[in-house]
Amino acid sequence: MKISTRGRYSFRMMIDLAQHYNDGFIALKDISARQNISKKYLEQIIPFLNRNNLLNANKGHMGGYQLAKHPSEITVREILESAEGSLTPVSCMDNTPNMCKDCAGCITLPVYEGLYHAIIDYLDSVTLQDVISRQPDTCEYYI
C-alpha cells in the first residue's frame, strides 16, 4: 500500500488543525504557510475530508477551517480513507461482497485480507491527539 500525495497532505492539514484546535477557524493561507503546501492544493483536499464530515468551515472575514471533532475522536484511518477512498491492498477487495470471479478459489486473498485488517486495526488505534502529543525527538512507534 502506498499513500498518495493527497493522503499525506490531508494528514498534514489535519495535524495542523489539531495543533491549533483551540484557535478557532484557521485560514488556509496559514496552514499552507506552516505546512509548505500550496493553498490551491489544500482547496482540492477539502472536499475529500468533508465527505466524512471531518471539517467545519466558516466563510467570510474570520473564515477558515477547524476540526469537526476533538483530535482524540479522529483516527488516522478516517483521514486516509477520506483522502484515498480505499486502503485495501488489492482492488478486488474494494467491493463487499468481493465480486472477483476467482474469489472463492483464490489462495492469495486471505493474505491480503490479513494485511488489510492489520493496516486498519493500526490506523484505527492512532488518533490525531496521539500524533500531536508524541514528542518530536523520540522515534517511538505506535504499534
- At 25, which CATH number? 1.10.10.10
Highest mean pLDDT among 56-60, 90-94, 105-109, 124-128: 124-128
Report d(CA 106, CA 83) in Å as an integer. 29
Question: How many structural domains comprise the chain?
Answer: 1
**Omega before residue 71 within 30° of 0, cis:** no
- pLDDT category at 135 given cuts 50, 70, 90 is low
- Whether 140 maps to a domain, the answer reads no
pLDDT at 138: 57
**Which helix (DSSP H) or strand (DSSP E) does residue 3 occupy?**
none
Q: Does residue 27 form part of some domain? A: yes
Q: Is 85 left (phi over 0), alpha (psi -120 to 50) or beta?
A: left
Whether residue 142 lies inside any domain: the answer is no
Range(s) of the domain holding residue 126:
5-133
d(CA 9, CA 35): 9
